[in-house]
Amino acid sequence: MSANRREVILGVGAGIAAYKSADLLRRLHDRGYYVTVVPTPSSLNFVGAATWEALSGRPALTQVWESVHQVAHISLAKNAGFFIIAPATADLIARIAVGRADDLLTNLVLSSDVAKMIVPAMHPNMWNNAATKANVETLRARGFIIMEPDTGRLTGSDSGQGRFPEVSRIVEEFDSMTGNTQDFTGRKILIAAGGTREAIDPVRFIGNRSSGKQGISLARAAQLRGADVYLVAANMDTSTLDGISITHVESAREMQQALQRDFPSSDVLIMCAAVADARPVQTLADKIKKALFTSIELEPNPDLLAELASTKVQQVLIGFAAETKDHLESARAKLKAKALDIIYVNDVSNGAIFGKDVTHGTILLRNGEEIALKEVSKDALADLLLDHAKRQLG
């Protein structure tokens, strides 16, 4: 497992502003980040683990003694691309500055060398205290990005510098640290993902093994880069996506309708859906009896991608292929036949890739360039494909 630039650790310290980090977490999701919340034990007095787990959809561990068999303080640190610690109390800043490792969060900070941002929030007397000032200076000198707290009214009647900054300002600063370039701002990206199902009767269907994971990675990556993302999702779990327009479909013909509606106004179409090549000539209203269930008459489905390609104006078209043999030859043929700009071919022999987080295959470009990928995460592939799409968009 290696660091993933979309994976973020949100450390939460024991300040009253912890409740504002619930909103921060949502905004980070909207920007396409995957977030694991690591609260300090005393912060749970303000916001409980249940809130973090519900909002992030992931466990919220506080101690190295939980899930010991998974060695969380090392595995989480290895996977994280960035840290954001918000709110950070004077005590948490002090513990990080001296290199303590007395809870999971400080363990993670010590064992990871990725970029880290700290958002302090405390009483002005504590922020202006010489000890805190020295600790902040020490951490800045070590490369931590430390935001200046806002000035204004505090929780009690006092006012001064120490307020938790506006969430929008925190997200802006965080994006600039992560290098979130927003190079697709104002662009509409249409993605079809998952696997279509063709009904045989009310119970049975013709389907395939596509999990939709690559589509989730693409939607997240495009969103993170500022695109307006429209996802046509066939029989896949989209519960981790926020802020994306999703149309759920079941069959190839439903997918065709959704794509025809959104394609003309799109800049990029990414077809990573596994579309059933054929459908039953008839869908029966009643379940077929076992004894009669011996054959199904099929007719071909339209090739959605080829059809859309024939109506394209300026859109960049990206196709996917899954092959068990001769994958390069058939991908080259599909790139031409479907008039695509880019195709990615997965080698799916032995059931590899379906439902996994990593893929291996080759990106083929219209100009004949071919880029072989050994074993990359589906997130990384998503960014690579978007890089190529960006070049073709000009």
Catalytic (active-site) positions: 208
Shortest CB 345 distance to ligand C5P, Å: 9
Q: How far is residue 361's CA from residue 381's CA, in Å, rounded to a whole number? A: 10
- For the chain, the straight-line distance linking the first and the last C-alpha, in angstroms and rounded, comes to 34
DSSP 172-204: HHHHHHHT---TTTT-EEEEEEEB--EESSSS-
Shortest CB 391 distance to ligand C5P, Å: 20
Shortest CB 301 distance to ligand C5P, Å: 5
DSSP 280-333: ES---SSPPPGGGTT---EEEPP-HHHHHHTT-SS-EEEEEEEESSSHHHHHHH
Peptide bond into 87 cis (omega under 30): yes
If the CB atoms of residues 86 and 271 are measured against ligand C5P, the closer one turns out to be 271
Question: Which residues are CB-contacts of 367 (< 8 A; sequence separation ≥ 6)?
Answer: none
If the CB atoms of residues 103 and 303 are measured against ligand C5P, the closer one turns out to be 303
Shortest CB 225 distance to ligand C5P, Å: 21
If the CB atoms of residues 98 and 333 are measured against ligand C5P, the closer one turns out to be 333
Shortest CB 275 distance to ligand C5P, Å: 4
What's the token pair of residue 382?
A: 């998503």
| Short-list 228, 213, 280, 230, CA closest to 252 | 280
If the CB atoms of residues 173 and 254 are measured against ligand C5P, the closer one turns out to be 254
Q: Tell me, what DSSP letter sits at residue 274?
A: B
Alpha helix positions (H), 61-129: 72-79, 90-98, 104-111, 124-127
Shortest CB 302 distance to ligand C5P, Å: 6
| Three-state secondary structure readout of 87-102 | EECHHHHHHHHHCCCC
Give contact residues for ligand C5P (rule: CB under 6 A): 252, 271, 273, 275, 277, 301, 303-305, 319-321, 334
Q: How far is residue 227's CA from residue 190's CA, in Å, rounded to a whole number? A: 10
If the CB atoms of residues 46 and 320 are measured against ligand C5P, the closer one turns out to be 320
If the CB atoms of residues 119 and 273 are measured against ligand C5P, the closer one turns out to be 273
Q: How far is residue 231's CA from residue 214's CA, in Å, rounded to a whole number? A: 12
